[in-house]
C-alpha cells in the first residue's frame, strides 16, 4: 500500500514492483507517488502497456526483471545498477501493435 497523508492506494498482492500507475490525483500526491512508490516504472495518467522495450527506446524486445538482483558470478557496475522510469501522460493508451513512432529525450534529474 502507498500512503500519503490521509490518501492511500492499495495494490493487489502488494504491488508487483515492475509497474504501478496513478490516475487523476492532485499534483502533490502525484509527485510523492512517482518518487516514492517501489516500482521500476511508474506512470501517471498513462497505460502501463507502455512498459516495453520499443516505447523506452531500448529495442523491440527486452527482458524485464521483477526482482531486485538477478546477477550471478562476477558483475561490473553496469550489472549492479538499474534504471527507474517515470511516465507522465494525459490519458494515452497503447493501440495494439500499430507502427507508432515514439519520441525520446533526456530529462533533467529531479532530487
In whole angstroms, how far apart are CA 6 and each of 2, 3, 67?
11, 7, 30
Mean pLDDT of 76-93: 74
Which residues make beta-bridge pairs with 34?
none
> What pLDDT score does 97 carry?
58
Q: What is the pLDDT of residues 16-69, one digit of tens each?
A: 566 676 766 678 888 887 888 777 788 888 777 777 777 777 766 656 666 666
- Look up cell 545498477; give the residue: 81
Do residues 41 and 18 make contact, with C-beta atoms less than 8 angstroms apart? Answer: yes
Which residues make beta-bridge pairs with 19?
41
In this prediction, residue 12 has a pLDDT band, given cuts at 50, 70 and 90, of very low
Interatomic CA distance for residues 38 and 54, integer angstroms: 23
Q: Of 110 and 1, which is predicted with more confidence?
A: 110
Amino acid at each position: 500500500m502507498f500512503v500519503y497523508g490521509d490518501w492511500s492506494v492499495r495494490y493487489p498482492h502488494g504491488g508487483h514492483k515492475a509497474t504501478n500507475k496513478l490516475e487523476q490525483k492532485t499534483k502533490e500526491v502525484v509527485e510523492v507517488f512517482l518518487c516514492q512508490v517501489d516500482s521500476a516504472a511508474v506512470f501517471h495518467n498513462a497505460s502501463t502497456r507502455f512498459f516495453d522495450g520499443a516505447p523506452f527506446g531500448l529495442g523491440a524486445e527486452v527482458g524485464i526483471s521483477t526482482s531486485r538482483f538477478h546477477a550471478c558470478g562476477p558483475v561490473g557496475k553496469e550489472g549492479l545498477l538499474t534504471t527507474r522510469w517515470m511516465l507522465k501522460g494525459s490519458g494515452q493508451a497503447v493501440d495494439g501493435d500499430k507502427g507508432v513512432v515514439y519520441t525520446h529525450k533526456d530529462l533533467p534529474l529531479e532530487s
